[in-house]
Amino acid sequence: MELITLVNTQVIPICIFLIMMGMGLSLVVNDFKRVVKYPKAVAIGLTNQLLLLPIIGFALANIMPLEPEYAVGVMLLVLCPGGTTSNMFSHLAKADVALSVTMTAVASLITVFTIPVVLNYSLIHFMGEGSEFKLPIIATMISLMKLTIVPIALGMLVRRYAPKIAESTQVHVSRFGILFLTLLIIFLTYIQQDIVIPALIAAVASIGHSQYHNHAVRLLLK
């Protein structure tokens, strides 16, 4: 338990701070100005990511036979913005990297305020009013600001006044982020194996049940 507490309270926040600072190293003020320059593209992208995706996730969480905790987990996933990795994939796919960076920057700022509100509603909707899980909205917003806006701003300052350092550091921070997320998934899977393994079995069973149901419907329609 002490190891889990240490990881949750110290390791994860510090690593997230560094990753978000690394994202700031790739940003300049012009990235935010592109919102005005390309309003249609940014509006479509942000609408899909911040509005359509949560709606789809909410619908699936209600339709699928999920435990309340898993349904809330689905909502947490669809509410999170894209990060530096999405920018990297955009670069590899020869897509519009500038647009990706702009959406990442803007979404990271907006979700500081949207995640606590929508996730708190999701907790109440899926787990009930009397749930022992409650999300302090203001405190959560402040915490997200510390882990997003502050490190991003610091990274942008380094990019502004020490561009060579920012350029040489950015690659290492991106690799660190991928390594950290991989190790975190492995660690959490090992620690929570009593929960993860039954959840995977239940998910596979649920998918199998859905396929069986669809097959049965097709047979009846014939």
What is the residue extent of each domain of the chain? 15-171
SS (H, E, C) the chain: CHHHHHHHHHHHHHHHHHHHHHHHHCCCHHHHHHHHHCHHHHHHHHHHHHHHHHHHHHHHHHHCCCCHHHHHHHHHHHHCCCCHHHHHHHHHCCCCHHHHHHHHHHHHHHHHHHHHHHHHHHHHHHHCCCCCCCCCHHHHHHHHHHHCHHHHHHHHHHHHHCHHHHHHHHHHHHHHHHHHHHHHHHHHHHHCHHHHHHHHHHHHHHHHHHHHHHHHHHHHHC
- The answer to whether the predicted template modeling score (pTM) of the entire model surpasses 0.85 is no
Fold of 15-171: Na+/H+ antiporter like fold (1.20.1530)
pLDDT, tens digit only, all 222 positions of the chain: 576 777 767 777 887 788 778 777 877 777 777 777 778 888 888 898 889 999 999 999 888 888 888 888 889 888 887 766 676 667 667 777 677 777 877 887 888 888 888 888 888 888 876 555 566 777 777 877 787 778 888 888 888 888 888 878 877 777 777 787 788 778 777 777 777 677 667 666 655 555 544 444 454 455
